[in-house]
Structure 1
Amino acid sequence: MTRKPSGQRGPVDHERRDQIIAAAHEHFRLYGYKKTTVADLAKAIGLSTAYLYKFFESKKAIGEAICSLCHDTLLSDIQAIVKDNITPSEKLRKIFQSLAHNGAELFLHDRKMHDIVASAIEEKWHAAIAFDQELSSIIRNLLLEGRERGEFERKTPIDETCRAIVLSLQPIRHPALLEYNLETLDNDATMIANLVLRSLAP
């Protein structure tokens, strides 16, 4: 089923919508999300503001669509890890490293996109909430798999364990936090993953 992010209007699959998202993405990269208005976007794309509103109810809705594409890329990398023929422990370790690596890449090479993701988290956009829910679901399934294989302890309630792991990821995946530890981010991800895995040992 095709997902339509919050604030979008009209048909889900529409070539013009994709063109608007692509053009807006480039405009945000040049000028930043917060400094851009819908009128600025319309002028840059060569469309009327009224026409943009046929597809998106606000600038935030356009930002949501772009943010969702970024999150889809992150989730694609994580899903590839989950499908790999390795233990649940190694999958969890690689997820920590993947989030840290992708977060650093975004900050260093696509700062404007990094700022959009930061806005999504700060303002609790639907795209950010949906990503957190999907990440939590993936981690929960890994925990269940690890418990079934005798790799992880079973005493702690699964919801509590899952929530604690998601919270432990904050320093390496939250845009407002990871930028303060860029030089040590990879090592930090490894150390936090090691600590989490030791706590999960039976």
Structure 2
Amino acid sequence: MKKATTSPIPARGPADHEVRDQIVVAATEHFSRYGYEKTTVSDLAKAIGFSKAYIYKFFESKQAIGEMICANCLNQIETEVRAAVTQTDLPPEKLRRMFNVFTEASLRLFFQDRKLYEIAASAATENWQAVLAYEERVQKLLRDVLQEGRQSGDFERKTPLDETAMAIYLVMRPYLNPMLLQYSFDYTKVAPAQLSSLVLRSLSP
């Protein structure tokens, strides 16, 4: 998995330090077993075999560790979406794939492990930097696809690009945000196809 290109996440010590990565891996396993909310940095230190002070050399708080885990998960979703988008040259199909793959990947990563879901829920509720950076990249990718579609003649050009991109992002958001996704679960099988078709009709020149 490649590293997320997010804005800096609060952390201490060298960003590429192998011990830092070791802490993230161990924390992911520990949180998935005992839950994020119920785990303290002291609990984590015991489980990993480090002192609490040593962990604080690399992360300023439990949230900073959670942000790194969250960033890794979101980066995995983004990687899957970008791979799907690059497999076609047709802007309408790229948009369909964005709806489909974002929903499928989000469901898999957010709900395959209910304990790790606590991290995603906290991140979404508290607007962690990892989430804000992810949302910015999603919107940038969406604007790029829309711009490509306008240049190819597949999409209308009258509506300001930023306005169009934000409107479509708001349609997609219930299937990107883990707090909203849990309330949209009953529609995840049909929503990507139906919503993308509706959006594409609205984009017709």
Contact 2:7 2:133 in 1 (8 A): no
The alignment yields a C-alpha RMSD, in angstroms, of 1.6
Deviation per CA, 1:122-179, whole angstroms, max 9, x where unpaired? 1011100110011111000000000000000001000101111111112212212222
TM-score by length of 1: 0.94
Unaligned stretches of 5+ in structure 2?
none
TM-score by length of 2: 0.93
Check if 1:120 corresponds to 2:103.
no
Q: What is the CA–CA distance in structure 2 between the aligned matches of 1:51 and 1:167, rounded to whole Å?
A: 42
Check if 1:163 corresponds to 2:163.
no
1:50-129 correspondence to structure 2 within 5 Å? 50-129=53-132
What percent of counterpart residues are identical? 49
Q: What is the CA–CA distance in structure 1 between the aligned matches of 2:91 and 2:169, rounded to whole Å?
A: 16
Contact 1:5 1:61 in 2 (8 A): no
SS at match of 2:38: coil
Deviates more, 1:142-151 or 1:32-41: 32-41
Aligned to 1:141: 144
1:10-49 correspondence to structure 2 within 5 Å? 10-49=13-52
Aligned residue pairs, count = 202
1:35 shift after superposition: 1.1
Deviates more, 1:92-101 or 1:4-13: 4-13
1:185 shift after superposition: 0.4
1:99 shift after superposition: 1.3
Deviates more, 1:105-114 or 1:141-150: 105-114
Q: What is the CA–CA distance in structure 1 between the aligned matches of 2:7 and 2:159, rounded to whole Å?
A: 37
Unaligned stretches of 5+ in structure 1?
none
Deviation per CA, 1:103-140, whole angstroms, max 9, x where unpaired? 22134412222221121111011100110011111000
